[in-house]
Structure 1
Amino acid sequence: MTDRFRSGAGRLCLDFIRTLRYRGTPSESEEFPDAAAWGAWIDQFGPFPAPAQPASVDEARALREAVHSLLTGEVRDPVRRRLNRFAALPVPAPSLTSSGELRWQASDPASAMLALLARDALDLVTSPEFGRVRRCAGPRCGALFLDTSRPGTRRWCSMEICGNQAKKSTYRAKATAS
């Protein structure tokens, strides 16, 4: 099974904000057109054993934009209040099954996921890792990612996609100039 949504940005909150794909470019596209898509994202990234069935996608989109504002330094009082409100929601609770497996449960998985995402964003922005959050150098991308490379010089959110496209463009430009 192929994952529906992109991962690998380095933190859960960074993968979450990538659901507005190609943010700020002419190719911008919404990966949460409806509650079913939000539920699919929770199923892919969340800790819950059963599929999530959120009633609405509105709160997810509102949190996504608040997290993006926080990470890009555009925090105003309404954004701060929204983040704090989501972070205060109940988080999933661990429980041990009779067979010794750890399961995560929540009466409302969508709200619990919002709490996890808000808490992850607040943790990131107040940690030393925040200095390593980068914007992808791909001209059509716009994604944020956590640079975990040793020298801290990573340029692309994905070497396989954005990095490869940049290298192809450079190669073509050199070949054309020759």
Structure 2
Amino acid sequence: MKEITATPRFRQGAGRLSLDYLRTLRYRGTPGVTEELADPAALAAWVRQCGPLIDGPRSAPPPTPADVLAARALREAAYALVTAAVAAGGPVVPAAAARTRLNRAAAAAVPVPYLTAEGELRRRADDPVRAVLALVARDALDLAASPALLPRVHACASPDCGALFLDNSRPGTRRWCSMDVCGNRAKKSALRARV
């Protein structure tokens, strides 16, 4: 009997944790914009799916509605920083509020690695949500301060997408955030137009 695996709730594969996090505002800049971090359960689900595998204490507090608002604000600060750095072709100084938000999030404790008795590498954090958001903030700061990577950060060529991705292809000419989704849609659309 085949095992049925659930379709991932959130899109991944942008090439960096921070860019995957930016995708939680889906279809950014289009009429179909969709907030994927709609509530505390969605934020916790993103951390479980997209962050490193983390063990937390059973007493770890679940995210609150205030945590969701802070997480969204962090996402928008990261988006502003990365897009400004890409446009400038190098590091930029973001607005004071964005800089403060990113620096504060990046200063939080990150997941600590440990080895289990079975030899499996795991990570532990007292507050898994805050720890993963610290990794997101650190990744956004690192990406925005990396002149060699910035020319490889592209917006998806699909007019209905709005996602950013890091182009790791050798020639650096990738056009779609995902060939399976946006690239496939574009090919089907082009085929329909020819027929």
- Cα deviation, 1:129-177, whole Å, max 9, x if unaligned, reads 12200000101001000111111111110111111221222222233xx
Asked if residue 79 in structure 1 is aligned to residue 98 in structure 2, the reply is yes
Asked if residue 61 in structure 1 is aligned to residue 87 in structure 2, the reply is no
Asked if residue 97 in structure 1 is aligned to residue 116 in structure 2, the reply is yes
Q: Give distance in 1, aligned partners of 2:55 and 2:130.
A: 16
3-state SS of paired residue (1:72): helix
Structure 1 moving runs of 4+ over 4 Å: none
Do the aligned residues in 1 keep the contact of 2:55 with 2:125 (CA within 8 Å)? no
Q: TM-score, structure 2 length as denominator?
A: 0.84
* Structure 2 portions without partners, runs of 5+: 1-5, 86-93
One-letter identity of the residue aligned with 2:187: K
- Cα deviation, 1:60-115, whole Å, max 9, x if unaligned, reads 11111111111110831211111111111111111222333222111111111111
Same amino acid, percent of matched pairs: 60
3-state SS of paired residue (1:140): coil
Which deviates more from structure 2 when the two are superposed, residues 95-104 or residues 146-155? Answer: 95-104
Q: Give distance in 2, aligned partners of 1:100 and 1:156.
A: 38
Match of 1:124 in 2: 143
* Structure 1 portions without partners, runs of 5+: none
Which deviates more from structure 2 when the two are superposed, residues 158-167 or residues 96-105? Answer: 96-105
Q: Give distance in 1, aligned partners of 2:110 and 2:79.
A: 21
Choose which of 36, 43, 68 in structure 2 pairs with 1:38: 43
Match of 1:148 in 2: 168
Q: Give distance in 2, aligned partners of 1:31 and 1:40.
A: 10
Distance 1:95 1:173, change over 3 A: same
Q: Give distance in 2, aligned partners of 1:172 and 1:4.
A: 29
3-state SS of paired residue (2:149): helix
Q: Give distance in 1, aligned partners of 2:190 and 2:134.
A: 42
Q: TM-score, structure 1 length as denominator?
A: 0.91
Q: Give distance in 1, aligned partners of 2:108 and 2:95.
A: 21
Greater relative CO, 1 or 2 (CA 8 Å, sep 6+): 2
Asked if residue 12 in structure 1 is aligned to residue 31 in structure 2, the reply is no
One-letter identity of the residue aligned with 2:12: S
One-letter identity of the residue aligned with 1:10: G
Match of 1:107 in 2: 126
Q: Give distance in 2, aligned partners of 1:73 and 1:13.
A: 15
